[in-house]
Amino acid sequence: MEWLVFFEPYELAIQELKINLRGIRQQYKTKGLHSPIEYVSGRIKTISSIIDKLNRMGISMNEIDKVYDVAGIRINCQFVEDIYMVVDLLKNRQDLEIVETRDYIKNQRNSGYRSYHIHAYYHLETIDGLKKVMVEFQIRTLAMNFWASIEHSLNYKYDDQIPEVIKTRLKQAAEAASWLDSQMSEIRDEISEAQKTFEQRKAEDIRDIEPPANLITLNEDYLTKKYKGD
């Protein structure tokens, strides 16, 4: 029960933020604009992961509030430029209190890891009043996310002791992913225009689909029965 109570505000914060951020993406799409947000996901650390991190940090359960990534939101973007647009969006939100930012894109880790991290308090409304919930945001391009997912799996397999030969190949792969991002940025306008045209044509195709001949009759029959009390 103690763990359930502990996790509840984090789970609520994750659910609300995912809905809000997906709503922002939809607003861009509705206005016919390029959305800097491509995909949003969220997760809560497992109990074993939390305990493992406490041990690595050398702190006790009483200091669990120092684990800043219990709740995590991952935002995937198409272009590197989109990442910084998302960062500005988050910094301007009234329900977020930014605590720390870490730019691992301009300051890439030795392993090749690239991402933008934000630690922030989310202002969660609860039946007991306002509660500040710490959330970690990881903002990446699709290429960065693919690389980071592979590195995470290898770290898990080798217990954070990846063999040097694999580390070298990972670093080379990171450089390739960085090159891919730079190439996509150079043709960003063309890609965005092509995607916009595709979405418009798809919407037109949907509008051109003829409804079933009996759809109107079925609806009228339903409404007639409904208002007659049947």
The DSSP secondary-structure symbol of 78 reads: S
Question: How far, in Å, CA of 129 to CA of 110, rounded?
Answer: 43
User: Active site residue: 136, 175, 199, 204, which one?
Assistant: 136
Question: How far, in Å, CA of 14 to CA of 9, rounded?
Answer: 9
Helix H or strand E segment including 142: helix 142-157
Q: Determine what percent of the chain falls in helix, strand and coil, rounding each to the nearest 5.
A: 55, 20, 25
Whether 136 is a known active-site residue: answer: yes
Residue 57: partners with Cβ closer than 8 Å, 6 or more residues away: 66, 67
Residues designated as active site: 136
